[in-house]
Amino acid sequence: MESTIHLNLSEDFYTLCTIYQIKPEYFVQKLIDQVSLPEYYSNPNENNRYGTLFFLQFIGQEEENCDVNDELEDHYLTAFNDAMHYNFDATPAATETCLSTGRNIMRQWLKAVLAERSKYLTDNL
């Protein structure tokens, strides 16, 4: 899925990008690629974990600005957690299963959220 975004580059970020010759959109893309609950929890020790940690910290801090359905969040995160259950014996095969199960749960969560949000449209039919 693609999305066009408009960003204000801060001075410090702009300076760094210019010095290291990094395109801001490339940087943002790389960061986005890292943000994944299934990937993080199926193998928490991997190097590209910082994107997800940043996201988790972000939703912790911006709690008031996030409008999330608590019931669905509790339900699906609990299911997610049960499926992951701290994948400590991270054999490649186990990681793979974990990853796909986790991603499946996230898809179901999204589906449930969208259904919930469009409920007002279908309710009065």
Partner 1 sequence: MKDLKDQPIEIPLEFKVACSIYKVSIAEVLQIFIDHVTLYDLMDKTYHEGFSEGCHTLIYCIKKKGKINPKGRSMRNCKDILSHNLHEIEILASKKKRGWKTTTKRSYTRCFVDSIYNAMERFYAPANTLYLDEVTTLHLNKNFCVLCEMYECYPKEFLEYFMSYISVADAHACMGMKYKPNFIYTFFFKIANGFGRDATTMIELTDWELDFYERMNAIRLEIHIIRDLQKRADVLRAFYLTHYQTMNSN
Residues 96-115 contacting partner 1, CB under 8 A:
none
Residues 15-44 contacting partner 1, CB under 8 A:
37, 41, 44
Q: Which of 69, 11, 5 is nearest to 31 (CA)?
A: 5
Binding residue for partner 1 (CB under 8 A) from 80, 87, 98, 109?
80
57 binds partner 1 (CB under 8 A): yes
Q: How far are the Cα atoms of 67, 112, 115, 118, 119 from residue 123, in angstroms, in the given order?
A: 21, 15, 11, 9, 6
At its nearest, how many Å lie between partner 1 and the CB of residue 6? 29
Q: Which of 78, 73, 48, 38 is nearest to 59 (CA)?
A: 73
Interacting residues toward partner 1 by CB under 8 A: 37, 41, 44, 49, 53, 56-57, 59-60, 63, 73-74, 77-78, 80-81, 84
